[in-house]
Amino acid sequence: MIQVKDQVYYLGLRDWELRNFHGHELSTYNGSSYNSYLIKDEKTVLVDTAWGPHADTFLDILNKEVDINKIDYIVINHAEPDHAGTLGKIMEIRPDIPIYCAPKGVENLKKHFHKDWNFRVVRTGDTLNLGNCELVFIEMTMIHWPESMATFVKGPNVLLSNDAFGQHFAGPSIFEDECDPCIVWHEAIKYFANILAPFTGLIKKKIDEIVSLNLPIEVIAPSHGVIWRKDPLRIVEKYAQWADNYDEGIVTIVYDTMYNATKKMAEAIASGLESKGILARIYNSSNSDISDIITEMFKSKGIIMGSCTVNNGALRSIAALLHEIKGHKLKNKIGAAFGSYGWSGEAHKDIHKELEDAGIKVVMDPIAVKFQPTDQEIEACVNFGREFANFVKQK
């Protein structure tokens, strides 16, 4: 069994093959892991489980490490099936085990499993003495679901943070300091941008609250990806930055195109931005990964989107992406729209409006060309990029 620290042990499993999560909503090129933890003290506690499809593997791991009959308590930090999915199988064996969870945890677990188990409701600041260690519960509402919470193991001083501070990453080690930092930090911000970005207001407050609790955190062990044991507050500091109107001063340009007219406009706009010292990343949304685009948009100050008009609207990959952006509630971004058209020309106007509806501050009127752009129209797109660059610099 891998020891995390003192009486805290890693019981999770790494899912090397996972390439999509939340159905097919999120890409996971580097797999993921479902980290659960065992605390061995005068009382034995299991914290979280694993996703249902891995239930048999998880039970094999669990049975090797502990006699299920000797588990005194289970803590469920989060009812989502990737962490609570194996709870039903454990409770079939030991239906009497007390389950500690947040108030909404009872409601959500009952709705998942349709069982009335021995629930023990806990709130922020409630404690559970295990002998040497003491558990301190911290509600983490909407990080990621209403019932989410974290459990601090006082003594070894390990914060079992569940989704918070996690990444979808099945690495060569479960410890961050033994993995490639480029991959770890990329997966951490991708996770934040795609899963937690809608809740940045709550995350800011929660980080302040955790800091005010003065917990002597020595290790942060989330339920996905690697464990932060070397200077663990680095990831907390990053969350504080990411939750605070984050951007890296860059621009993301996304287009879809039928005969490359809109693509030419995108490239011209990018060259205008670059001429003013603003770097732009360009994606064709029809053949790019939406999770990657959302990550790049999260890092960006500016979002510029374009489509040609077909059947009185934007191409479907752009329409889908606009829907996605609205749900992610990206904060403090500026935007603009562009596109080519043949006759009616609605797409660029629709994109402009949809960006506004998504909370993006649209700073320029859309630019459009009829069929293929002339040299003068390409120059106008370059100037469009230059003008947008000025707005980026204003911040």
Site residues (vs ligand FEO, CB under 6 A) = 78, 80, 82-83, 144-145, 163, 223-224
Which two structure tokens, joined as six digits, stand for 347?
């797409």
Residue 350 is among the residues annotated as catalytic for this protein: no
Catalytic residue selected from 54, 78, 168, 328? 78
Residue 78 is among the residues annotated as catalytic for this protein: yes
Residue 224 is among the residues annotated as catalytic for this protein: yes
Q: How far is the CB of 143 from ligand FEO (least distance, A)?
A: 9
Q: How far is the CB of 295 from ligand FEO (least distance, A)?
A: 17
Q: How far is the CB of 312 from ligand FEO (least distance, A)?
A: 38
Entry field: residues in the chain: 395
Pairwise CA distance, residues 278 & 269, whole Å: 11
Catalytic residue selected from 82, 247, 256, 354? 82
Contact between residue 119 and residue 103 where contact means Cβ atoms under 8 Å apart: no
Q: Which is nearer to ligand FEO, 108 or 309 (CB)?
A: 108
Catalytic residue selected from 144, 168, 328, 348? 144
Catalytic residue selected from 163, 247, 256, 377? 163
Q: Which is nearer to ligand FEO, 199 or 255 (CB)?
A: 199
Residue 144 is among the residues annotated as catalytic for this protein: yes
Q: Which is nearer to ligand FEO, 54 or 224 (CB)?
A: 224
Q: How far is the CB of 154 from ligand FEO (least distance, A)?
A: 24
Judging by DSSP bridges, how do beta strands 250-256 and 300-307 pair with one another? parallel
Catalytic residue selected from 83, 224, 348, 352? 224
Q: How far is the CB of 196 from ligand FEO (least distance, A)?
A: 9
Residue 191 is among the residues annotated as catalytic for this protein: yes
Residue 163 is among the residues annotated as catalytic for this protein: yes
Q: Which is nearer to ligand FEO, 15 or 163 (CB)?
A: 163
Contact between residue 20 and residue 108 where contact means Cβ atoms under 8 Å apart: no
Q: Which is nearer to ligand FEO, 15 or 82 (CB)?
A: 82
Closest by CA to 349, choosing from 363, 372, 366, is 366
Q: Which is nearer to ligand FEO, 85 or 385 (CB)?
A: 85
Contact between residue 227 and residue 219 where contact means Cβ atoms under 8 Å apart: yes
Residue 22 is among the residues annotated as catalytic for this protein: yes
Catalytic residue selected from 80, 176, 247, 296? 80
Q: How far is the CB of 224 from ligand FEO (least distance, A)?
A: 6
Q: What is the signed CA dihedral for 387, 388, 392, 395, rounded to 10 degrees?
A: 80
Closest by CA to 37, choosing from 9, 67, 13, is 9
Residues annotated as catalytic (active site), given as ranges: 22, 78, 80, 82, 144, 163, 191, 224
